[in-house]
Structure 1
Amino acid sequence: MTPRFTSREFSFLKPDSDTSSPIQAPDTYFSDLVHQKSAAFTAFEQRLLSVDIPKKKFICAVIQVADTATEDILEKARDIFESWLRSMSDNQRGIWETLDNRAFVLVFWDYDNQKTAMDLLESLKAKITRALKTELLVGVARFPFQKYSRSEVFANALKAIDHAAFFGFGHMRHFDGISLNISGDRLYQLGHYDAAIKEYEKGLALSPKDINLMNSLGVCYGVTGNLEKAKTYFEAALDINPKEVMVIYNLGLTSQVVEDTDKAVLLLRKAHGIDGRIFEVELLLGHLLFQAKKLEAALPHLETAAQVNPKSSMAHRIMGEIFLEQEKPDQAGAAFNTAVKLNPLDPVALSGYALVMTQKNRNLKIALTFAEKSVALAPDNEMFQERLIRVQQALQENDAADDPSRKSASA
């Protein structure tokens, strides 16, 4: 599905927007196997559903060998799985399967308690790491757990290894609310908003006070147009931590969308007071103050936004619009010039820059090109059309001034 809501050039803020984080998202997600119902997933799912597990409990682990491993090392890993399971009574206490050339899934059930099971798994991990001289990535889930079925526990282990992947090889993570947040984020990234909501809701059932999950639910409901529900989750998150800037910003954006500008500005100023160097906060606050004709108040926020994110064409474009209103053509031209370089398809910047060149009576042919392009990009915008006419008139006047025959004819 496509989102039923956008806020022009502003987006809701999620934790993965923070590029300063040392934790990096994986290049590929194992949870995709669940959503795509891959052949490897389906084959092992069927084995897991049909196998007899006497005590009705098991541990499911997904293990990936580092991408530096050779084919010989991978073959050795398979041999270790086989011998480890044989040591547990002739393969009657577990099953395993390859998921791809570097990843394996393992289910075992002959253990007395959770601690014993984890000790067994840690011993396998250590044995493989020692024998192969390479690091592993491991995701773990257990059955029974909550109301999850056998196949869902397999899926949970895949989500857990995605969780572990954020920390890199050598790490193991157990399925929890964060695993579901990551799985939800992946679905959100793919545009599957309704499915993402379900993941976040499952995560919140495990971690009822997790602010990231509440924020993620608010964002999902926001982009699908359910702003009241979005607001409910953002406010619930702020009840837990009133100084969570990300959530304050999102609540401010929601207020802006429903045209409660005063509340939006109030919230964004609060966010700015907590951390004055967040690009999204500074850009939206500057934009709203500009719309409210508070030009001098808007400029510092836009300047900060441009400093924090030098590639933001919008920050420079709005500054250009402010300088135009303040009748500062040189500063307006410099701002629009930067905006157009960063985004050559921004009709507002193109039109504004054309107007500045017309006012200064310079580079009118370039001004004409920019004005025509702005109208082509936004044909229904009357201001852009008026500016185009103004450039055309300026060119005609200049041509007449340069043509002696026209001068004599007019005389």
Structure 2
Amino acid sequence: MMLKFIAKEIRFLKKNGDAPDLRPPDVYYSDLLTQPSKEFKIFSRRIADTCASLQTFTTVAIQIDPAASEETIDKANEIFHACFHSVLDDDKGIWECLDPFTAIFVFWNYKTADQGKKLLGLLNDKISQALNAELIMGAIAFPFHNFPVEEMAGCALKALDHAAFFGPGHTVEFDGLSLNISGDRLFQLNNIDAAITEYEKGLSIAPVDINLLNSLGVAFGVDACLDKAMEFFEKARNINPEEVMVIHNIGLIHRINERNDSALAYLRKAHAINPDVFEIELLLGHLLFKENEFDLAMPHLDAAIRLKPESGTAFRIKGQLFLAREDYAGAAAQFNQAVKLNPNDPKALSGYARAMALQKKNLSIALSFAQKSLDLDPENKQYKQNLEKIQNIQDRIKETNQDLSIKSA
């Protein structure tokens, strides 16, 4: 039940590319690894055949600024071809267009890594000058750790996705963060096993990277492997005991395991480090409400609303808190906000119906909300009981009114 709740609002914290100064790309080229285009299939075969016997080579994925003019994009293929042959030749490299403004190159026959980087810089300069447009580039030089030749094209695409977070004019060399971003993309697509593989590859490159350790913990947590999740969160905490996302996630594991005292201790520590994280404030408010610590819960729920006013969950929990305090008008006001923000939240609908019924107000609306909550979750016994209670209240009021009418007649 808790895992279902996590997926909606109270969830594991992750640090990916959505920092205020970074923007995720509109297109992830690493998606071509799971849904390869004809062009990528052709290039993958060519690189496998051509580079299998090479000791060193560089693979680079190049994208023109997506905001470039249509005229610039129209001549991109011609420019890629001309610049490739002005810097290299058919004996020193291969290339393929992936779409109208993106290409992937491989080149070799350089003696040192520095010479390879100079060739890469020259290729960048030639193409950007010819097109009068900035480029986004992701590159990887072989050999790289124990990665095989056939993974080089995919790694270049992952580095391109990584570079795209920084925008035009940036080049990124493939690293552990590239794999974290790739894993996050797979996680976003609900391919948890593949995401775990990416994070593990990333840790083979950067074994003490907190983001990768935390990401792996999150993936195992969502996959309900809680012991494994805790193992990686603890490793991350040992590296940096003040990392708020890791502390929150440890607290969340304790909450899932119903160790509320431990969960509250970790969440309070996370709050002390950063009081402006929605998930921390929401979970703290929720847990304190469950512990009947209403006065302590309220400031955290109010903070969650301030941090994410478009979320109905904090309003709904406040409604439940007011119900527990027998402040039915206050509860109705909070549930009203929750239902406005999420008309299909069965808990908010049922709570709102109950708050109205306890005030003996708007019973027809209360009855319809109670019915809708049950329709959304037909197996919920509490919603069914709530519907029956409201129906009984309405029936009793009708009977009383009928008796009064008879007496007055």
Per-residue CA deviation, residues 287-309 of structure 1 (Å, 9 max, x unaligned), is 11111111111111111111111
State yes or no: 1:364 paired with 2:389.
Answer: no
Whether the aligned pair in 2 keeps the contact of 1:59 and 1:107 (CA below 8 Å) is yes
Whether the aligned pair in 2 keeps the contact of 1:7 and 1:257 (CA below 8 Å) is no
Q: The residue matched to 1:51 in structure 2 has which SS?
A: helix
> What is aligned with 2:241?
242
Per-residue CA deviation, residues 208-232 of structure 1 (Å, 9 max, x unaligned), is 1111100100011111111101000
Paired with 1:162 and 1:199, the residues of 2 have a C-alpha distance of 14
User: Which amino acid is the alignment partner of residue 224 of structure 1?
Assistant: D
Give the TM-score normalised by the residue count of structure 2: 0.93
User: Which amino acid is the alignment partner of residue 42 of structure 1?
Assistant: K
Q: How many residues align?
A: 406
- Which is worse superposed, 306-315 or 392-401? 392-401
Unaligned runs of 5+ in 2: none
> What is aligned with 1:307?
306
State yes or no: 1:353 paired with 2:361.
Answer: no
Paired with 1:317 and 1:300, the residues of 2 have a C-alpha distance of 15
User: Which amino acid is the alignment partner of residue 235 of structure 2?
Assistant: A
Whether the aligned pair in 2 keeps the contact of 1:401 and 1:407 (CA below 8 Å) is no
Paired with 2:19 and 2:49, the residues of 1 have a C-alpha distance of 46
State yes or no: 1:13 paired with 2:13.
Answer: yes
Identity of aligned residues (%): 45
Paired with 2:378 and 2:405, the residues of 1 have a C-alpha distance of 33
User: Which amino acid is the alignment partner of residue 400 of structure 1?
Assistant: E
Paired with 2:121 and 2:398, the residues of 1 have a C-alpha distance of 83
Give the TM-score normalised by the residue count of structure 1: 0.93
Paired with 1:372 and 1:174, the residues of 2 have a C-alpha distance of 57
Aligned-pair CA distance for 1:317: 0.8
Paired with 1:367 and 1:139, the residues of 2 have a C-alpha distance of 57
> What is aligned with 2:392?
393
Whether the aligned pair in 1 keeps the contact of 2:84 and 2:123 (CA below 8 Å) is no
> What is aligned with 1:223?
222
User: Which amino acid is the alignment partner of residue 12 of structure 2?
Assistant: F
> What is aligned with 1:101?
100
Per-residue CA deviation, residues 73-117 of structure 1 (Å, 9 max, x unaligned), is 346443444344434574211111111111111111021211111
Whether the aligned pair in 2 keeps the contact of 1:85 and 1:93 (CA below 8 Å) is no
Whether the aligned pair in 2 keeps the contact of 1:60 and 1:141 (CA below 8 Å) is yes
Cα RMSD (Å) of the superposition?
2.2
Aligned-pair CA distance for 1:52: 6.1
Paired with 1:52 and 1:327, the residues of 2 have a C-alpha distance of 73
Unaligned runs of 5+ in 1: none
> What is aligned with 2:122?
123
Structure 1 residues 68 and 384, CA, compared in 2 at 3 Å: closer, same or farther? closer
Paired with 1:396 and 1:258, the residues of 2 have a C-alpha distance of 43
> What is aligned with 1:233?
232
State yes or no: 1:334 paired with 2:333.
Answer: yes
State yes or no: 1:288 paired with 2:287.
Answer: yes
Structure 1 residues 380 and 192, CA, compared in 2 at 3 Å: closer, same or farther? closer
Q: The residue matched to 2:309 in structure 1 has which SS?
A: coil
Whether the aligned pair in 2 keeps the contact of 1:53 and 1:109 (CA below 8 Å) is no
Per-residue CA deviation, residues 155-202 of structure 1 (Å, 9 max, x unaligned), is 111110000000011111000000000111111111111111111011
Aligned-pair CA distance for 1:72: 4.9
Paired with 1:154 and 1:383, the residues of 2 have a C-alpha distance of 55
- Which is worse superposed, 36-45 or 252-261? 36-45
> What is aligned with 2:271?
272
